[in-house]
Structure 1
């Protein structure tokens, strides 16, 4: 091979090496672009998931006045616009139950809004589900005191205060003095309210109603919320957006 041929072959090999290096560089850039794009998509997906979770669990704002509220003779409380009979949302709750307190905080306004919009008949069932002390006695005192309130709007205001001031499960609470104070705060106007609370006048009725409801509805935990007789899953119950969809969907 002549010198010229050797020089030509060397130049060809160098060009091939340069082309291969360039190809490797292009492949590397493509991989980096792919990784960055995939990462961006993953971050966007995580962000979207977080946004959806946050938005679906966000409590609703009060949309206006409450629907009419009627305290029933047995202790149940109905909230519904006149003529609205379905769908029926039954809320079985215990004033001493921490999960019930959380349900009221997260989804309580959704129930109120749906009733005010004429999209549901909401029925509250304050029961005593605890059998151990001090939770049982706490629950009975709170439930019995709520039965001392005959006015619907006053009952709802008292209902909210009971959950806001729920005592620890390990200590005695809902004392008569506290209950009477919250009654005043709720605007309870019944002249015999203080005496009713002090004497525990409705304690037996609270326990009797609780047993009747627990047995009839097979309640083994609170809160239990039923839509037209079927229990709503917790995943929807504590997600105001999903809860609204479930209830309005039952009306179609």
Structure 2
């Protein structure tokens, strides 16, 4: 083989080796990039999963704590002997955000009361001044006052939020209120006539106005823990709300 031929053969082998090394380096870089992307996605996915778990609603675990209906239209949910911490819930049955709160954090509140970790006081109010929302709220909240049994009260309370009408439509009609009460087992004497005649409306309006003024409420829902307003960023995150209440009881 001539010298020129040998040199050409050497150059070809060197070129082939360099091409092999280049392809190997490309594969290594691609593997590194894929690994980094997978790790980043896992971290992001883990963050979303954690956030989702934090905001996940609880399921009512079992029986509720006893509920006692008060003469002022409020209802207290607490196990015997539990007096603190106190969670006051100021809500309007026509308020859409109150409905969201009930759906998201209502089970957590009920569970905590059943666990003996909090005394809950429900305050049904009417905050609306325009129609049809004001009349809707008045009919619903007044109907709640027609229920004296605690377990029936909370069942009717929950049904009202489930059936909440649009803010632009007339709803909570008295015939419907009576039917929903019967559906959830309300057996209070005179319930039907109390609802249809709106017997409790004047008392509700009076106490609602007084509560709004005394508590200096800006709107509903408002949750107070031992008299201090809980931030909205907490009340709509069940795990955060649970921890806040538990900490208050320590």
Give the TM-score of the pair, scaled to structure 1: 0.90
Q: Of 189, 196, 199, which residue of structure 1 is paired with 2:197?
A: 199
What number of residue pairs does the alignment pair up? Answer: 249
Separation in structure 2 between the aligned mates of residue 186 and residue 124 of structure 1, nearest angstrom:
19
User: What is the RMSD computed on CA atoms of the aligned residues?
Assistant: 1.9
Q: C-alpha distance in 2, partners of 1:164/1:144?
A: 17
Alignment of 1:209-248 (within 5 A): 209-248=207-246
- The corresponding residue for 1:148 is 146
What is the aligned partner in structure 1 of residue 38 from structure 2?
A: 40
Q: Which moved more, 1:207-216 or 1:174-183?
A: 207-216
Cα shift at 1:224 = 1.2
How far did 1:16 drift?
Answer: 5.4
Give the match for residue 24 of structure 1: 22
SS of aligned partner of 1:125 = strand
Give the stretch that moved more between structures: 230-239 or 182-191: 230-239
2:101 maps to which of 103, 108, 113: 103
CA distance in structure 1 between the aligned counterparts of 2:14 and 2:245, rounded to whole angstroms: 70
The reply to whether residue 137 of structure 1 matches residue 138 of structure 2 is no
Q: How does 1:71-86 map to 2 (within 5 A)?
A: 71-86=69-84
**CA deviations over 1:76-123 (Å, ceiling 9, x no partner):** 111011111122111111100111111111211111110000011111
- The 3-state SS of whatever aligns with 1:89 is strand
Q: Is residue 2:126 matched to residue 1:128?
A: yes
The equivalent residue for 2:92 is 94
Supply the distance in 2 between the matched residues of 1:18 and 1:147 (Cα, whole angstroms).
90
Distance 1:215 1:246 in 2: 26
Counterpart of 2:52 (choices 49, 54, 69) is: 54
Deviation at 1:14, TM superposition (A): 5.2
Tell me the SS of whatever aligns to 1:106: helix
Q: 1:20 to 1:193 in 2, by over 3 A?
A: same
Q: Secondary structure at the match of 2:87?
A: strand
Q: Tell me, what secondary structure is at the counterpart of 1:63? A: coil
In structure 2, the CA distance between the partners of 1:72 and 1:19, relative to structure 1 (3 Å rule), is: same
| Structure 1: runs of 5 or more not aligned | none
**What is the DSSP-based 3-state SS (H/G/I as helix, E as strand, rest coil) of the residue aligned with 1:225?**
strand
